[in-house]
Structures are given as structure tokens and as C-alpha cells.
A and B are shown apart, each in its own frame.
Chain A
Amino acid sequence: MAKAPIWLLILFIVLFIWGLNTGEIANILNSGTSICLSCIGVG
């Protein structure tokens, strides 16, 4: 099995967990549950 994709996978899993630890999930939920008018070009 090639090593490069495994290392990439580990790197991104670490990045994902780090993001979770900084509370990004709450931020994603917040942006997803309110209608962002500038996101859809209205306003």
C-alpha cells in the first residue's frame, strides 16, 4: 500500500480534530441555521 495517502489521511484527521477542538462545529451550525442573505446574493 502506498504511504503518501496514509500520511495525508492522518494529517487531515488531525486537522479535523484540531478544528473540532477550537469549537468550529458550533460556528458551522450557526452559519447553517441562519439565512445568510449575502451568501445567496440577496443583500
Chain B
Amino acid sequence: MDNLRRLVQFLTAAITNAYLLFPFGSVIYQGPLKSLCHPGLHCYSCPSAILSCPVGALQNMLSAVRLSAQAGMIQVGASIVGYLGIFGALSGRLPCGWLCPFGLIQDLLHRIPSPKIKLPSFFNYFRYVVLILLVVLLPLLLVDELGLGQPWFCKLLCPSGTLVGALPLLYFKPNLWHNVGLYFWNKIFWMVVIILGAVFISRFFCRVMCPLGGFYGLFNRFSLFCLQFDEGKCVHCLACERRCPTGCQPYKDANSAACIHCLKCLQACRFGALAFKMRPGKVQALPVRSEK
């Protein structure tokens, strides 16, 4: 299962970065595929990216909502929320575990031999702060005299934007170095923190800061396909907990918002106590026959 997941992750990353003409033509891909969003976090300013970033596109729409309203067509990012919501309603955080290119980068970083640190679970709530504050509220409310906001998550934090967007662009367009300022060095700082964090703490960014993970995580308890735990088969060996990259305890809460549905726990459980399948409906109680 884990090999299959790795294959899917690499294939998704390769397809997402299929524009290999960037050193010869325009620096970024400008074709029609950019009207589609990636279900994971991948900067659309990456020279090889052929899809758009849902978080970046959503912030851009929210930051320009006043202008679109003036033009008579309010654009609040409904198509992006709907698109991400379809993934969430179907499979919860499965895109985090299987499709996200930045998730793959973190998985590879965590393979670097080093002492591994367990992250206290209260850090998990910070990603909701990032989602609400940097992705929704600040782009919507902090506007200039023209009524235009800024994509604050991208501007202040997004490590994907720095690693696969800013750095390659600065390499291919050296004249951009003139625009580099405090915001850039702030992002370099966070990128270094996140990269080092990923070496020592499994899926550090996904667990603590990713707004997309925060959004998908809301669906883990309701998604059509979900993790199901059979208590009768569990021997409490804790193998599932040891293998989990996000510190979940599937025997306590099989559909925790932190679970990225990588399904490593299924592989770890030798007793078949865990399964990933369609959520069953409510079991209806049969009418009790009264015997007099």
C-alpha cells in the first residue's frame, strides 16, 4: 500500500510539473490548464506547474471581491471551495496523503536520518488560525484605497511558494532580485523552519500550518469514504499509532481531523481491525416484538 501511495505521489507531482519548457520559453506555463486547481498545495508560480494553486486562487478572489462586486459579478471563490469540498466530502484528507506535492517533499525530508520528535496535539489547531486569518479574513478585510487586498498566506508563510516558486524564478529571472525585501526574507525564514521541522517532525507543515489540510480535515468525520475501526478485532498492540505519520490513534478516533488517510495504519494492523471503505448508513433497529 505504501509503495502504491508513493507511486501516486510521484506521478501526481510529475504530472503537475509537466511544463518542462520553462528554461526556453516563458518562465511559467500560461496555457488553459492553469484554469484548473490542484487538489494539493502547489504554487502556480512554479515554472513547471501546469495547474493553479487553490489556496492562492481563493485568496486572490477574496482580495478582489470588492472589485468583482463593482463589476456586477461577485466572485468569492465558490468554485474553488466547491471543488475542494467535493474532494473533502468524498475522501476527507486523502488528497493530503496521496496527491499533495508538498506532502511528498515533507515525506522525503522526514526520511533523512535524525532524531524524531513527537508533536503535542494542541499544535494541530494552529492550522485553523492560518486558514481563517491568513487565507480568509486578512485578504478580505485588509484592503488598500482601491479596495484590493493581498494574498497574505502566500505573502507571509507559504513554503511551497518560496521553494518551488520564488527561488526558481529568481534563478531564471535575476532582475527580480531588485524587488526582494523583508517579505521575501521572512518567507525564507519560514521555509527553513518548515524544512527543518519536516526532517524532525513527520508532516510538520501539514499538521501545524497547512490551511488546505485544515479545510480537508473538517470532512474526515463526514466523508463518504472513511477509516473504520473494528474494536472486536483490535488487540491493542498500538502498531497503527506507531506507524501513523500524523500522530493519530485510530483505535481511539479513527476519523480524527489530523489523519491524512495515508493508510499506513491499515498496513500496520495485522488483525484487520482497520478498513478504509464507504461510510455505512445508520443501522436501523428492528421493531421489538412484545410478548404477552
**With a CB–CB cut-off of 8 A, which chain B residues contact A42?**
166, 169-170, 176, 179-180, 183-184
Q: How far is the CA of A2 from the CA of B187 in the complex (A)?
A: 43
**With a CB–CB cut-off of 8 A, which chain A residues contact B180?**
42
Q: How far is the CA of A41 from the CA of B223 in the complex (A)?
A: 35
**With a CB–CB cut-off of 8 A, which chain B residues contact A25?**
35, 79
Chain A binding surface SS class:
helix
**With a CB–CB cut-off of 8 A, which chain B residues contact A32?**
34-35, 44, 51-53, 57
For chains A and B in complex, what number of residue pairs have CB atoms within 8 angstroms? 172
- Do the beta carbons of A28 and B35 come within 8 Å of each other? yes
Query: A12-B82, A41-B161, A41-B184 known; A1 and B281 CB under 8 Å?
Result: yes
Chain A CB within 8 A of B138 CB: no
**With a CB–CB cut-off of 8 A, which chain A residues contact B90?**
5, 9
CB of B15 to closest CB in A, whole Å: 16
Query: A12-B89, A40-B161 known; A29 and B169 CB under 8 Å?
Result: no
Q: How far is the CA of A4 from the CA of B86 in the complex (A)?
A: 13
**With a CB–CB cut-off of 8 A, which chain B residues contact A33?**
28-31, 34
CB contact between A9 and one of B27, B78, B179, B224 (< 8 Å): that residue: B224
Query: A9-B90, A38-B154, A42-B179 known; A15 and B81 CB under 8 Å?
Result: yes
Q: Report the interface size class on chain A.
A: 35 or more
Taking CB atoms and an 8 Å cut-off, the chain A residues in 11-41 that contact chain B are 11-20, 22-29, 31-33, 35-41
Q: How far is the CA of A19 from the CA of B80 in the complex (A)?
A: 8
Q: How far is the CA of A43 from the CA of B161 in the complex (A)?
A: 13
CB contact between A22 and one of B45, B78, B86, B162 (< 8 Å): that residue: B78
Chain A CB within 8 A of B124 CB: no
Query: A33-B28, A41-B184 known; A2 and B77 CB under 8 Å?
Result: no
Binding site for B on A (CB under 8 A): 1-6, 8-9, 11-20, 22-29, 31-33, 35-43
**Nearest 4 A/B pairs, CB to CB:** A19-B79, A16-B82, A12-B85, A19-B78
